[in-house]
Structure formats: structure tokens, C-alpha cells
Structure 1
């Protein structure tokens, strides 16, 4: 993992897949790069990202045990959410779900990637809507092959493979993953009852890409699909998710003698089934509460860019002009109001969202100490055809029939950054930016239930808007590096789940809230302001020992204004102030590598009122690798080696759910 330096002065950039090279201006912003070696020890992409403290998964658990709807990601612990506040792309194609904005992480195995870039700060310019706290750019591998097979405690097994090869002038890249686990029970000790069941999992994904040379350009055609089935930790509650995507990309890398360009079209389909239950006070049993048996959604989009790089007496100048458009449509189909041993009501709710924009980006490098970059963007967004229909299953008559008014607007966003090399390996940089994130179809239209807690949708949600500034210093030596960043960020019209009532009680739209539960609604609840500090240090102490450490401190506070005054002064849910990581890699002999990783996080809250406290947590992971040959490695790992109880959730009655216990696994990795 490294802080990205200014790009080298190359007369020609050669790309294998149909992608443009990294923009010259990226080095002026806060960019952290994870390469293939950083990703290799991690079996899940979200776990690899979690090694960076500034990355905030919605909950402390990983995609090994997280419900699909909680797999949202944000950069910096400003205000994590299930929808996520970060745009994730794979070679330019959004990976975020078209209905909910979350990311099904296992659809992109770590073995399939050559690396990724985490760009902090709001993503105006080429990234656009959704990149509220930044963007994660994934790069699919082009060549080589890797096979990783492993088994772990509690029925865990995983087989992943990725390879690239040439078939005449065409390059083919393929990826496949199968993973299964019997899971663990999240509620432990005397509080657990017969209602508590394991978070089991079965997942399958595959992808294939063809890179076809056309004159000096490259055309990439890609198809992928995934399917997962998982337990939700309660008897009778399960979740399944599936999806597929198609994309076509054509690109020509720019040179000082020619214009570069990219043209891309993509389509993504997804579906989610998610059943929920009400839990008896003594946790001895559950009762069906809601059956979201289908959530079909489709997203599609286009983007195009022109890029020019010129070198003259004043230095290197690069500019990019582009446009993009994204469209999403989907609905939730569900059964609810369980009475007399059967569901009595049905619901169909959904709509369409769209956003389209144009942008200009530019960067100037004086071939000396200065790099200046910036961009300006205009977007138009619209929410349309929103409807919520609820019917009595016995009579077929509607009990609620609402048509939501269309909403639309325009947003102008911008960013500007400057970097100066100071010599002796030191550099300073500063940046300012704005951005926005429209509400997802899930937030606009889908109510949901977790245990006895209900959350209502809100079709009147406005886009979130972010303003931020930051400054950073970095030093790179022969064997060590150190970076420091301070930032201030403000999110206006932040979309949060606001508590509006406590059970037991009957609420006309949401239905009955049982004892020990609360009713929440997604709302634009005022403003979230955050101030933070990020530190990252690396030291290659010798040829056989390397050390790393990182720290993130983010003080985020809510100002609920007149709409949610009860939230003013509180911290956003799931937003810790402190998080830190440390690790080492030691190679005592040529064939043996030992690694240790520590992660600590201060307490966070599971709710908007800060009444459900998730205590501070620390975990340690160990890994040993033995090189059987230059192309084969045998490995063993112990995750959460001290078997710490890490709180990841808490009910209104104080029952805590925990992350995975100590897990031992062994595997073999083959590569070429």
C-alpha cells in the first residue's frame, strides 16, 4: 500500500485492457494504492480495504457474514451507511447495486484484481454522482494466473481462480469463485436462545473479459454473474442476492502526438430476497414479519471522455472532457402483516432514478516541484414513476395506493488541488472539493425490518451534498515513508435513519412495532460536520522485516436542525472517532514469511440517538506462508486469534450481536 506520487513523464502509455491510464492530476489528491501483493493475503475485497483505517464499512463485520443490504462502504468515518457514500468502479463500470447502492463484495474476488486506488474526497470531475466521500477504482488483472484453495473452521471452504491468456490477437481474462461456510451464531452466551442461528453462506461468481485490438485502440467486452444465499442469524430469516453485468469499452491511450479517448456502455441487473422475523422477548422463537421475496432492479449507463496530454516549455498539461449518464429502475415485492399464521398484506414499491452530467478536468505539471489539478462538473438528477401499492391478500383490494411526485434538480460540483515537492522526499498538498449523492431506490421506496426494528422509506429524499477541504504532507525515503492528512467535511441534507417512535404500537404506514422495537424513517436530517486526521507510516527495517502502522481520527457530529433537533450534537450511527492498524511481515528464512496485523477501533453507536453503544474493539490476525516452489505457496491463517468479542449490533433491549470468533484456515496458492 502506498501514497501515489506524481506520474512519471512517459511519451507513451501502453494499456492492455480498454482503459485510460491514471490521470496526471490524481497525485495532487489523497490517493492510496493497494497492489496485487497487498490484496493477496485477503480473501475478501472489503477485508482488504478495511486494512486502511480511513475506510469505513457500515458495520464491523465483513461480507463473510454481513447481510447484502449492510455492505455499503464510505471513505473516512464521516457517516457510514448501508447504501454507502463511495462510488466503486471496476475499470470504469460502477459496481454499486442499482437498487441499494451497496456492493456485493464477493462478485469481485481479490484474485481477479491487479490493484486498486482509493481516492479520498468528494468525486467531482470524472467520477460524478455517488462519489460523495471518494471513489475506489478497481483494476482487473490483464495477465498471469492465480488459484487459491482453502478450508477453514465451521465448514468454511473457498476456491478462487483468475487467469489471463492470449488467443491470437485477443486477450482473454477469466475469474471464478466458490465459497461456503456453516457460519457462526452472532448472539452468544446466556442471552442466546433457540431463535439465534448461524450466519451460513454459499456464494458463486464468474466473469470473462475479451480484449480485442482495433487499430491502435482496444475494445473490451466483459460479462459477469454472481449468486449468494446466506442466513441472517435468526430462525426463519434468510437473504439471497443475485446479479449479472455486461459492459463494452473502447479506449485509446493519449500521447503527446495524439488525442486519447474512452467510450463505455454497461448494464447491470440485480435481485434481492430478504426475509425478516420478530423475536420473542426470551429469544426462544421467531415469528415471520416480512418476506421481501424479490427486488428486481436494472441499471445501465454510458460514459465518454476525450483526453489530451501535451508537453511544452511550460511543462506538461493534460485535460479531459467527458459526459456520463446512469439510469436505475427497480421495485421491492413483499409480503407483510403476519396474522393468524399467514401474511395478510402485499406490497409493491419502487420507481426510477437517473443522473446525467458533463465535466472538464485539467492538470498542469511544471516538470519541477508543482502539480495543479482541478475540475468542474454539472449534473441533472431525477426521481420518477415512484409508486407504493399495498393490498389485502384476501380481497385483493388496495389498502394504500400512493404515487410519488417526480423530483428533479441540478448540481454544480468542483474540485481543486495543488501539490509541491519540497525536496529530500517531502511534498505538501492541499485540496478543496464538492460533490453529491442522490438517494437510492432502496432509500426512496423500500421499508425494511431487522429483528423488532422497522425503518420506513421516504420518497421525498433530496440528494446529499458534500463540501470538504484537506491538506497533507508526505515524506518518502529509501526504506521508509510517512504521510499525514487533515480534513474538514460537511454533508448537507444527510440521509440518516431517524427514530420517530417506539413500540409497541401501530403506525399507519409501517404497521405494528412490537415491544423492544423502534420505528425509524430515512430523512434528510440536517448537516453532518466532520474534522479528521489520517497518518500512515511504513518502514522496511531490513531486507527481511517490514513494519506498517496507520491511524484515523474523525470527529463527526450531527446538526439535526428543526427537522431532527434530537440528533443535534450526536455522532452519526456506526461512525467511530478512532481507528488504527499496525502490522509486520518477517521472513526469517527464504521460504517462510510470517505476518501479523492488528486493528483497533474506538466505540461506535448502532443508532441515531447514540443509545446503543458498541464498545471499543481490538483484533489480531496471524498468517504464515511457506514457499513450496516459486509458483506455489502453502499458507495458514488465524483471524481474531485472541477470540475477542467484537460487538457489531445491539437491539433496543440490549442484546448484542458479535463478529466472527477465532477462525483457523489453511490453503494453497498457485500462481504464474
Structure 2
């Protein structure tokens, strides 16, 4: 909201050595120039305060479902790259200045806690990330760079519009301190259109967040950054009686010194995350005339913490880095279920702990136009203290008491890459391996959406991804283009596998009503994916900029003996094609006009490929007018053609849709 510059397109795989570091962080390693990396500067997402909406303009970047975080349930806000196999837990690692932002219990990301005004730049690393990224960086990394506390600043903005939307944000700082506060509300829209009943209501949002950051440089030279942040969001989930509340806080402390010839650089960082989720779901009655409480997840306390350390040196053409990191997560869900005779009759407690300890070594060699790089990682993952207990609330007796045995695994991963600069262009190739341990949520907590139930699985194994890719790019005066071809194999992917249809009674899961489906999270053999990514930019004169990006992925499941019914199917929520285009016109010194279009091919809402979601194309239009040097007016027309974007489909054929057309108007003050 606060950015006053025009939107800029991602610079295709720019040499990472050009990045200037001002805060307490190491610069990107020289070796990353051999991988598929896109850097987004601040203007690139200023058209929307929701970071996930702007990241979705890059090809293959999406939440689990098509709905953005403005309306998505917290448990479906995990981010995935390359459309290999999207997941509610997310198969990409999200970091803010090196601190993981994925929820310690579920792996998803609460985007309300990451307002765009607090972000300076974003680096999208596609392909499995080893090196310092480690566990969770399966399909890639979204490395967020936070705004540093620096020169005195005061920024304030308000915005309001259709669907009962209103938002206010303030950034204020001086002397190294930067304070940020945001509040946002939306009355939302009712996602069900055809077949709508008394059960259906709007997807509404009420959220706020606050962050305080302090940056300084110590007398000995290293930079220090300390950050604390909190968020709180309340949602209505589109059905009468279904809602969610997520709350959280985090704190981090970082010390870092950049390397130079003859002087090693280093980083020390410690962090902690706290979160809690309340989530109520309902069963939908006949004719969508009524809902019945199905589950009341009234508390999900989770705690994550970790540290990392790195030492980097530069000796002529050689850059090297060694490091280690540790992450721990513990959490437990408390929920009431089995609603009978006007009350819940069962209580569930389920959770556990996980730890990941990793170490890595990285080296790159630059000789003229050549760059050769490689790194190796070793991670030890452990799951322990697991339990799932269920009680009869009337009798007080335990009806289920499971304590799965602890498990551990040691996983080697790594990356190698080669790049050759060609004056006005480059060619590169890379190979990599990565892994993602299952989240506590996947291991221990079942969930319900309408009449569909998905069971947990404490025996899940970590997912592993292996891939190779090749890329090339050209950059001339006012124009650039890059292309990447990739082949990936995802081994032991966690999928929601259909194991029963309602109406029926099943062990552990209990009764599944008519039209409902019973699934279980399972490791299902492998997913093979072949794809291509294309990005480009052209300056059409001094005032006009055209950007575009396309991603096409052909992915197929081999369910193996575990799930042969999935063999030959496409992963759920994985479109074959995604494309975006942007047009920016500086009509005058005061007026900027923007067009952003996005197309996504058809996808399936289920593992058996029976619930097809049609292709969709949306267009957003924006205008920015500077009233004075410090004040700007903003107008945004979202989904200008009122496209019907299907986001989900139930077993009985009811389709949900994303937001209809809406208009927003805002005022921004910057001093």
C-alpha cells in the first residue's frame, strides 16, 4: 500500500552478487546464480496488501486452493511452487530474514501476520533447496527480506470498498526502530452459488497484526536485528456455525557480518514461534437446509523454536560457507466431536513433538564467465512424544488411547549447479535433492470439511524430491527473457487418499454421512513432473512496461502398492498451466495505471480426479494518483470481468467460488 514507485517485473535470474545488504543478514551466496531464482523488489507487490496474492503472479506459485488468504481457512494457506503437488501444509519453505514462517503445528502460513508493507523484497528459489534452507524446502523457498529500521519514516494508509472491505496500516520509525500496525476487515462473499441453501453464508475476515523491529550496527562492526510480532485473525468459513481463529507471536535475534576479501562473514540467529488455532466445522444437512456441529477444535497450542549459525569466506574466485541449524516443534490439538442429541459426546487430544538438526557445507567457484557450485546437507529428523486420546464426555472413559512409537531418520540432500554468462545472456543447469518431514497436523490430527473427513496417520514418512533442470536467458536494452525446463520426482508424497464413501460407519473415523467421503493421509509412491517456466519483461518506451510469465507442468501420480487407484492420476489442486501478464503505464508524473491478468488451467479438487474445477482467467485494474509529494490516491478494480473462479467441489456436486468483482479506494500518506 505504501510503495510510491511503479510495479516492476521480476528480474530473471539476476546475478546474486549484485544484491546490497544493509541489515543483519548475509547476502545471497554467489552459487545461487546457478539456480532458478527470481527477485521481486518492493514495487512488485504494492498492488495488494496480501503478500500471497502478489506472489501468485509468479508462475506456479499458489496456495493449496485457488482462494487467497483473504478468505482461505488457515489450514489451507500453505504455499507450493511449480504445481507439482500442492498441499495445505505447503511444500515450500517460507522465511523472513532466515526465520521460518511455517506454522509449527500445521506447516501452513498465516499471511495476515506478514503484511506487504513490512517486506522489502522477496527471493523465489524454485527447486529443492539444500544449503542453509534445509527441511521443508521441497519445491522451493520464498525468502522474504524485511524492512530495516533506519531513517525516520511515517507512513499511513486507509482503504475501503466492495464486499465490506476496509483496511488501515501504519509504519513509523526512527533511530533504528520500525513499528508496524495493520487492521483489516472483510464482510466477504458467499462462495456457493448454484444450489445455495440456508446453510451458506459469507467468508468474512477480521484481523490485525503488529511488529516492532530494531536494527543497529555494533561498535565492532556486525549488524544486529531484533524483531517481535503478533497477529490475531477471525474468520467465518462459509457455512453457518463454521469459523476459525488463529493467533500467534514470534521473536528473533540476529547478529551478522558480511564477508569480504580477507575477512570471513558470519551469522548467528535464534528464534521462537507461538501459535494457536481454533477451528469449528459442521456437517451439511439435506438440501443444504441446516448444519449440525461436527467438530470444535477449541485449542491448538503450538510452540516452535530454533537457531542457526553460518560462517562464510571469500578467497579470490572461491566462496565457501559452512553452517548448522536446529528446529523444534511441539503442539497438541484439543477438540470436541461426535455431536449427538444437541451436544458433543467425544473429546480428542492429539499431538507430539519433532526436531530437526542439520549441517551443511557449500562452495562456489567463479572463473571469468563460468560459475560452478555445490553444497551438501545432512539432516536428522525425529518425531516423539506422540499421543492420540479420545474420551467419552458423558462417561469420562477413554475410548481410544494411542501412543505411536517414536521415529527418526537421517537424510542427505544437496545441490550442484553450473552457469555460463554469455554477455547478453546466460545458460545454466542444476540438480538437487530436498526433503520435507510431515507436520504435527498431518501426523496426528484428522479434519473435516462439510461431510468429508480426512484421517491422520502417525506413520507418515518424510517426502523427498529429486530434480534436474536447465535454463537460459537473454537481456538487452529494455528487455529480458528467461526459460527453465525441469524434471522432478517427488518420492513418498503425502496425499489425502480416498478409503471410503458414506453413508457408512468406519473404525476410528466413525460415521460418514451420505455424500461424504473418508480419506486418510498416506505416502503414495511417487509423483513425476516435467515442466517449463518462461518469464519476460519489455520496456515499451519510457512510460510503458510489459511483463509476462508462463508455467506448464505435466504431473502424474504413481500410487504404487499403497494406493494403486491413484496411478495415472494428476495430483489434486495441480493445474497444468498458469500464466500471468502485467502492463504498467506512467500516464503522467502524477498518474500511474496498471493491468494484471492471470490465467490458470483446469485442476482437480480430489485425488481420484472426479471433481474438476474449470480453467479461470481474472483481470485486475489499478490506478495511482499523487495528489502531492506526500499523499496518493489509489483505486483498484479486482476481478474486473467478474469471472467465476471455482475453488472447490464437494462429493455431492456443490461448487464454491472465489470473490466476485469488487472496487476499492484508498489514501496513502508518506512523510
Render the CA deviation track for 1:32-82: whole Å, top value 9, x for unaligned.
011011121121000010010121221111000000000011111000000
Deviation at 1:220, TM superposition (A): 1.4
Q: CA deviation at 1:373?
A: 1.5
1:219 deviates by 1.9
Q: Is the 8 A contact 1:123 1:134 kept in 2?
A: yes
The residue correspondences of 1:146-225 to structure 2 (distance < 5 A) are 146-166=155-175, 171-189=176-194, 191-214=195-218, 215-225=220-230
* 1:318 is the counterpart of 2:319: yes
SS at match of 2:288: coil
Shift of 1:454: 0.1
- Give RMSD over aligned pairs: 1.1
Matched, 1:290 2:295: yes
Select between 629-638 and 658-667 the one with higher mean Cα deviation.
629-638
1:299 and 1:328 in contact (8 A); partners too? yes
Q: 1:489·1:529 contact (CA, 8 Å) conserved in 2?
A: yes
| Equivalent position of 1:409 in the other structure | 409
**2:592 maps to what in 1?**
593
Q: CA deviation at 1:8?
A: 4.3
1:338-376 deviations in Å (ceiling 9; x for gaps): 00010000000000011111000111111x211111100
Alignment of 1:241-640 (within 5 A): 241-311=246-316, 316-366=317-367, 368-423=368-423, 425-640=424-639
Aligned to 1:240: 245
Q: Structure 1's 16 and 573: CA in aligned 2 closer, same or farther, altered over 3 A? A: same
Secondary structure of the residue aligned to 1:641 is coil
Distance 1:51 1:422, change over 3 A: same
Residues 12 and 481, structure 2, Cα contact 8 Å, conserved in 1? no
Per the TM alignment, residue 155 of structure 1 is displaced from its structure 2 partner at its CA by 1.5
Comparing 236-245 with 20-29, which one deviates more in the overlay?
A: 20-29
Structure 2 SS opposite 1:589: coil
Higher mean C-alpha displacement, 251-260 vs 553-562: 251-260
Work out whether residues 54 and 76 of structure 1, in 8 Å CA contact, stay in contact via their aligned partners in 2. yes
Residue matched to 1:62:
68
> Contact 1:141/1:164 (CA < 8 Å) preserved in 2?
no
Are residues 1:5 and 2:21 paired?
no
Task: Give the distance between the partners of 1:52 and 1:562, measured in 2 at CA.
Answer: 36
5+ residue gaps in structure 1?
none
**Secondary structure, in 3 states, of the residue corresponding to 2:627?**
strand
C-alpha contact (below 8 Å) 1:111/1:146 kept by paired residues: no
SS of residue matched to 1:83 = coil
Q: Is contact 1:39-1:115 (8 Å) kept?
A: no
The Cα of 1:323 is off from its aligned counterpart by 0.2
Give SS of 1:282's match: helix
For residue 213 of structure 1, report the CA deviation from its aligned partner: 2.3
> Which secondary structure does the structure 1 equivalent of 2:54 belong to?
helix
Q: Is the 8 A contact 1:383 1:407 kept in 2?
A: yes
Aligned counterparts of 2:136 and 2:16: Cα–Cα separation in 1:
26
**SS across alignment from 2:659:** coil
Q: Count how many residue pairs are aligned between Structure 1 and Structure 2.
A: 658
- The CA distance in 2 between the partners of 1:413 and 1:78, in whole Å, is 19
Instruction: Provide TM-score, normalisation by structure 2.
Output: 0.97
CA contact 1:183–1:198 (8 Å) conserved in 2: yes
**How far apart in 1 are the matches of 2:544 and 2:155?**
26
**Offset, 1:14:** 6.8
What SS does the aligned partner of 2:441 have? helix
Deviations 1:290-346 (A, max 9, x none): 1000111000001000011122xxxx2111000001000001100000000100000
Gapped regions of structure 2 (runs ≥ 5) = 1-9
- Contact kept? 1:265, 1:302, Cα under 8 Å: yes
* 2:14–2:38 contact (8 Å) kept in structure 1: no
Rounded to whole Å, the distance in 2 between the matches of 1:97 and 1:362 is 31
Structure 2 residue 98 is matched with structure 1 residue 92 = yes
C-alpha contact 2:12 2:536 (8 A) present in aligned 1: no
